[in-house]
Copies of this chain bind each other. A is one copy, B any other.
Amino acid sequence: MSEEQILLAHGGGGRLSQRLIAEEILSRFGSGPLATLPDAASLQLSGRNVCFTTDGFVVQPLFFPGGCIGDLAVHGTVNDLAVSGARPRWLSLAMILEEGLPVMTLRRVLDAIRLAADHADVAVVTGDTKVVKRGQCDGIYITTSGIGAALPGFSLSIAQIQPGDKVLVSGCLGDHGAAILAAREGFPAEHSPKSDSRPLHRLVEGMAELAAGVRFMRDPTRGGLATILNEMTAGQRFGMRIRARDLPFSPAASALAEMMGLDLLHVASEGCLVLVCAASVADGILDIWHTLPEGRDAREVGIVTGEHGGRVILESAIAGERVVDVPSGELLPRIC
């Protein structure tokens, strides 16, 4: 045990990540709001429900088709608040810079942060900058934390999910991870998938009137849709059935996945919302989402069932049924 080392897969969002978090984090800090590992902690302040979240960003390359580490850092934290049913308000910005980083690169990243924050209607209100020697960082690492005010009407928890509920996704799956992979493999930008990095809070605020029917939301980042759906079903009496024919994928991501033998169910999105809701509000939510650019490709992709509790089943017209599992290793290091 004493010779155990941290592996890249400990950061990949798969089984090893989950084990590290369970054994090392939950064992020490799991008695409070961290217990259920929400995307954002729900805190009581002066009788008001406040959400608080943090994310580190180490993406490589720093600039990729559809975005850069700067806007990604804003969107990641904004989205963790949004899927927690909160309106994002304030961000902190902590940067670790590598000696020798061109100041122009820093400027481009900061410009992207500024633009993304303005677009998402959040303010960067506090920050910190550290510099380390060449070879002790890889250009720039960013940690953003965010505070949001809980939106009235949402009461989100996995415990509310019931058989008969619908599973919706707000857009194409896996575009972010596919864009990073394409950039690393040297694909020309014009043939590459574009990252879907974008804020999701308008999708959440837009459906406020249907909030009572929303059971749970997450954004499928590290580990992709497969990981998120397994997190929702793990240890539960219910299961989920997902229909392969209804899953939205962009043509560029599909082509790349085909070429490289990639399962897009395991690939990260950074601008996609996965939502479980009462069947009665599913069409209403999709109608609202379809009016927003970020919800244009929204679909109902599956259903919660009372059968095969704890498991996610993919129905495919060609291949029949298969269990959708959590990736066990590291698929793509440093995608966010």
| A-to-B contact residues, CB < 8 Å | 1-12, 17, 20-21, 24-25, 28-29, 32-34, 38, 40-41, 43, 45-48, 50, 52-58, 89-90, 92-104, 106-107, 110-111, 113-114, 117, 123-133, 135-138, 141, 143, 145, 147, 149, 333-334
Q: A50-B45, A126-B41 are in contact. Are A98 and B133 (CB under 8 A)?
A: no
Q: What distance in Å separates the Cβ of A270 from its nearest Cβ neighbour in chain B?
A: 14
Residues on B with C-beta less than 8 A from A107 are 24
> Are the C-beta atoms of A110 and B52 separated by less than 8 Å?
no
Residues on B with C-beta less than 8 A from A98 are 6
Cβ-closest chain B residue relative to A59: B130
Residues on B with C-beta less than 8 A from A21 are 129
> Are the C-beta atoms of A101 and B47 separated by less than 8 Å?
no
> Are the C-beta atoms of B97 and A6 separated by less than 8 Å?
yes
Q: A94-B56, A132-B58 are in contact. Are A45 and B48 (CB under 8 A)?
A: yes
> Are the C-beta atoms of A5 and B100 separated by less than 8 Å?
yes
Residues on B with C-beta less than 8 A from A131 are 6-12, 333
Q: What distance in Å separates the Cβ of A190 from its nearest Cβ neighbour in chain B?
A: 26
Cβ-closest chain B residue relative to A105: B6
Residues on B with C-beta less than 8 A from A132 are 11, 58, 138, 333-334
Among A12, A41, A143, find the residue whose CB has the most chain B CB atoms closer than 10 A: A143
Tell me the bound Cα distance from A99 to B293 in angstroms: 39
14 A-B residue pairs with Cβ-Cβ distance under 8 Å, sorted by A, are A2-B104, A8-B99, A8-B133, A29-B114, A41-B125, A46-B47, A52-B92, A52-B125, A52-B126, A54-B92, A54-B94, A54-B127, A54-B143, A96-B96
> Are the C-beta atoms of A46 and B45 separated by less than 8 Å?
yes
Tell me the bound Cα distance from A130 to B96 in angstroms: 14
Tell me the bound Cα distance from A55 to B126 in angstroms: 9
> Are the C-beta atoms of B45 and A126 separated by less than 8 Å?
no
Residues on B with C-beta less than 8 A from A333 are 131-133
